[in-house]
Chains A and B, each alone.
Chain A
Amino acid sequence: MTDTRGHFHQDLQSLEQNILDIADHCINMTAMAVEAVTAPDLALAARVAAEDEEVDRIYLETHNRWLNTMARQAPMGSDLRLMSALLHLNTTLERTGDQCVNIAKMAQVTKDLPRSERIVGMIEEMGELVSPMLRTAVESFVRRDADQARLLPEMDEPIDRLNRNMYREVVACGPDSMKLEWATRMMMVSRALERIGDQAVDVGEQVVFLVTGEFTEFADGHDGDRV
């Protein structure tokens, strides 16, 4: 196969590598953030914040390079779809990093408050469900596997369910105001994890677009706003 746009395609590969780097950071940060807030472990929380700075750096670099590539190369066909997906993934995964920071920050403000082990268990379970979702989303992107990407809404359902049930668990902490404050913070953690699940689904939608050329939102198996 002769590639008459070799330099452009190298640029595309390099941009894609940036996105994969951000994705690796996000997968790592999600696990660290959940552990930091459930332990709680302030040192680990600080590492999440530090890693997010690297994510932000790559995000900005990717955005600037993306813009230059778009202006100079005027991509078409699958190259154009990849460029579109890269821009979308860059933004989505940068927000995933922000959600990890939001989770990690809760370690500091909740470290001296009484906890509900039941809620801690739910947060840990959500973390264990979200990490494979992110990995699946990234793998489907690397492999250009639309079928694998279409698995994501179903993977997201138990996370949504746990997030919805969190409200009930928080209310049950009611009589103890200190525990209620802790639980309210955990509801924000739950919400952040639910959002990360949605972002993994968004990545999957971009993969399907990249492969098929048709952009559709997946059937709503991930209604995170329902309480």
Chain B
Amino acid sequence: MTMVDEIRATPSESESSEPVGARDQRANPEVPASTSQPVFDVEGLSVHYGSFRAVKDVTLPIREHEITALIGPSGCGKSTVLRCFNRMNDLIESARVGGSVRYHGVDLYGDDVDPVEVRRRIGMVFQKPNPFPKSIYENIVFGPKIAGQRGNFDDLVEESLTKAALWDEVKDKLKDSALALSGGQQQRLCIARAIATNPDVVLMDEPCSALDPIATLRIEELMLELKKDYTIIIVTHNMQQAARVSDRTAFFSVDVNDGGQRTGRLVEFDVTDKMFTSPTETETEQYITGRFG
């Protein structure tokens, strides 16, 4: 069964026969081509919470084995967009997603797509480390067990913790509570837990904002290692972090209407080197240099 088949609850005839990548360059011709394939192809994405429009008109491709950073001021909708990549917004009753998010060419919001399988393929790490109140070992095997895997998980635990650069620190205390770990270790455990289900993409929502600078640098270093195996999308308030780790950066801003409603929009998306040295849009330039208004 292919990756595309896996996320579908039932096969569909509605799938586009267009080759993956063909739409990518059309979506944003300004962004230089890459040898890596697009994993996501987002077009005209908008998100409403009830009548409130949180984000509008987001169009961007996300490429394989790259780190894409979503940056912007508070309320610009970057976390909302991130949650669209694994249908986390489905869990919010009033949320409504418009436009299209195609994952390896498949409409992620198609009727035939299983959101649970989507979240297995597209893992997520949150702002605050949130290990389960279980042992380190049980945290890692929780997802695979839920997914129906059976047998000996020792190799999976070692592999996941090694990939998350945590194995050497915890290999002798796998049965200890995960809650006894430091904040940085807990966050790396959450990354190990996310990759234990063998995902394709890892979404990170401010993964270092609750960590000290050294733990932050370890996570950043880890991200650079993980991108060999995974595609990573990170939301960060820390521009320096985006500059340090990402290959491409999307800058979001926020429009405020007369009624005070804030709607996020994508201002610019480009390779990170360009975004932080000579961005095209004045708004981006003003944001990264700290000048507003």
Pair B291/A76 contact, Cβ less than 8 Å: no
What is the minimal beta-carbon distance from B36 to any residue of chain A, in angstroms?
Answer: 25
User: Interface size bucket, B side?
Assistant: 10 to 19
Contacts A213-B277, A213-B278 given; indicate if A77 touches B292 (C-beta within 8 A). Answer: no
Q: How far is the CA of A74 from the CA of B289 in the complex (A)?
A: 10
- In this assembly, does A5 line the interface, its C-beta being within 8 Å of a C-beta of chain B? yes
- In this assembly, does A3 line the interface, its C-beta being within 8 Å of a C-beta of chain B? yes
Interface string of A50-85 (1 = CB under 8 A from B): 000000000000000000000000111111110000
Q: How far is the CA of A89 from the CA of B272 in the complex (A)?
A: 26
- In this assembly, does A216 line the interface, its C-beta being within 8 Å of a C-beta of chain B? no
- In this assembly, does A1 line the interface, its C-beta being within 8 Å of a C-beta of chain B? yes
Majority SS of interface residues in chain A? mixed
- In this assembly, does B126 line the interface, its C-beta being within 8 Å of a C-beta of chain A? no
Contacts A76-B243, A77-B278 given; indicate if A3 touches B288 (C-beta within 8 A). Answer: no
Q: Which of A8, A9, A76 contacts B288 (CB 8 A)?
A: A76
- In this assembly, does A4 line the interface, its C-beta being within 8 Å of a C-beta of chain B? yes
Pair A81/B278 contact, Cβ less than 8 Å: yes
What B residues does A81 contact at CB under 8 A? 277-278
What A residues does B243 contact at CB under 8 A? 76
What B residues does A4 contact at CB under 8 A? 290-292
Q: Which of A89-111 contact B (CB under 8 A)?
A: none
Pair A5/B292 contact, Cβ less than 8 Å: no
Interface residues in A, total, Cβ within 8 A: 18
Q: How far is the CA of A81 from the CA of B277 in the complex (A)?
A: 7
Pair A80/B277 contact, Cβ less than 8 Å: yes
Pair A3/B291 contact, Cβ less than 8 Å: yes
Contacts A213-B277, A213-B278 given; indicate if A78 touches B285 (C-beta within 8 A). Answer: yes
What A residues does B278 contact at CB under 8 A? 77-78, 81, 212-214
- In this assembly, does B279 line the interface, its C-beta being within 8 Å of a C-beta of chain A? yes
- In this assembly, does B240 line the interface, its C-beta being within 8 Å of a C-beta of chain A? yes
Find the B residue at minimum CB distance from A213. B278
Pair B291/A74 contact, Cβ less than 8 Å: no
What is the minimal beta-carbon distance from A11 to any residue of chain B, in angstroms?
Answer: 13
What is the minimal beta-carbon distance from B150 to any residue of chain A, in angstroms?
Answer: 50
Q: Which of B245-293 contact A (CB under 8 A)?
A: 276-279, 284-285, 288-293
- In this assembly, does A2 line the interface, its C-beta being within 8 Å of a C-beta of chain B? yes
Pair A2/B277 contact, Cβ less than 8 Å: no
Pair B276/A8 contact, Cβ less than 8 Å: no
- In this assembly, does B239 line the interface, its C-beta being within 8 Å of a C-beta of chain A? yes
Pair A74/B240 contact, Cβ less than 8 Å: yes
Q: Which of A184-227 contact B (CB under 8 A)?
A: 212-214
What A residues does B288 contact at CB under 8 A? 76-77
What is the minimal beta-carbon distance from A208 to any residue of chain B, in angstroms?
Answer: 12
In the complex, 21 of the A-B residue pairs with CB atoms within 8 angstroms, ordered by the A residue number, are A1-B291, A1-B293, A2-B292, A2-B293, A3-B290, A3-B291, A3-B292, A4-B290, A4-B291, A4-B292, A5-B291, A8-B290, A76-B239, A76-B243, A76-B276, A76-B288, A77-B276, A78-B278, A78-B285, A79-B289, A213-B277
